[in-house]
Amino acid sequence: MTSKLARFLLAMALVLSVAALAQTGSAAAAPASPAPAAAGTSNKLGTINLEQAIFATNEGRRDFEALSKKLEPKQNELKGQNDEIESLKKQLNTQGDKLNEEARANLIKQIETKQKQLDRALQDAQEDARNQQSEIGQRIIQKMAPVLVKYANENGFGVIIDTSQPWPQSPVVWWGESLDCTKAVVDAYNTQSGVPAPATTGAAPKPAGTRPAGSGTGTGTKPATQAKPADPKQ
């Protein structure tokens, strides 16, 4: 249970599920303001990591950091519940053989009841966090879609492929650094939005499901500044 809670707290702190991004990414593929008919006639190919782009925008960094702070009280509440359960389990392990049958049964029942309550609270909190994460992601991706279309038209791209998902979830097996336009689109988005960079220092928040470099978990999202093959690690 402790590891389960730890994973959830990390997810809440870093925010944004990949499933939600997959849905919002589909919306970006069909923006409300379609490209002119002349667009798409070029053979020039580009790539963009939409998942990374959302988190790299000033607006995304600001809003996800704010959400992380908003969720802190719930994290602390859940941690307190978990700590209470762990304390009761420790009591059962160290004193269980010294308790009479009724006292031991009551302690076990208390642990089971609190465990069920925590499990339900975790599920509710996860659903609430996912909903808020999705709202932020959808709002940004909807505003990013016309920025991406404008950038593609102005730079003569015929196709721009989303590389957020790793192969084999995505058909993209490999892409090179020179094809990636993630930073350019993020810069254009920041200019248009007028949102200043957050005052906080350090790296921008990462999606909850994103695999950090060098780890073997998550979805395998890759830095947009490196040429690399997609890594089938799931």
Quickly list DSSP for 134-183. HHHHHHHHHHHHHHHHHHHHHTT-SEEEE-SSPTTTSS--EE-GGGB-HH
Q: How many degrees, rounded to 5, is the angle at CA 1 between CA 113 and CA 83?
A: 70
pLDDT of residue 187: 96
Rounded CA separation 92/113 (Å): 15
pLDDT of residue 186: 97
Using DSSP bridges, classify how beta strands 228-229 and 174-175 pair: parallel, antiparallel or unpaired: antiparallel
pLDDT in tens, 151-183: 999 999 999 999 998 888 888 888 888 899 999
pLDDT of residue 175: 84
pLDDT of residue 41: 61
Work out whether the CA dihedral 46, 62, 145, 27 comes out positive or negative. Answer: positive
Rounded CA separation 83/33 (Å): 51
Model pTM?
A: 0.64
pLDDT of residue 200: 66
Listed by start position, the domains of the chain span 2-229
**Residue 132, beta-bridge partner list:** none
**Residues of the chain with confidence (pLDDT) below 50:** 6-40, 203-204, 206-234
CA 21 to chain centre: 8
pLDDT of residue 19: 34
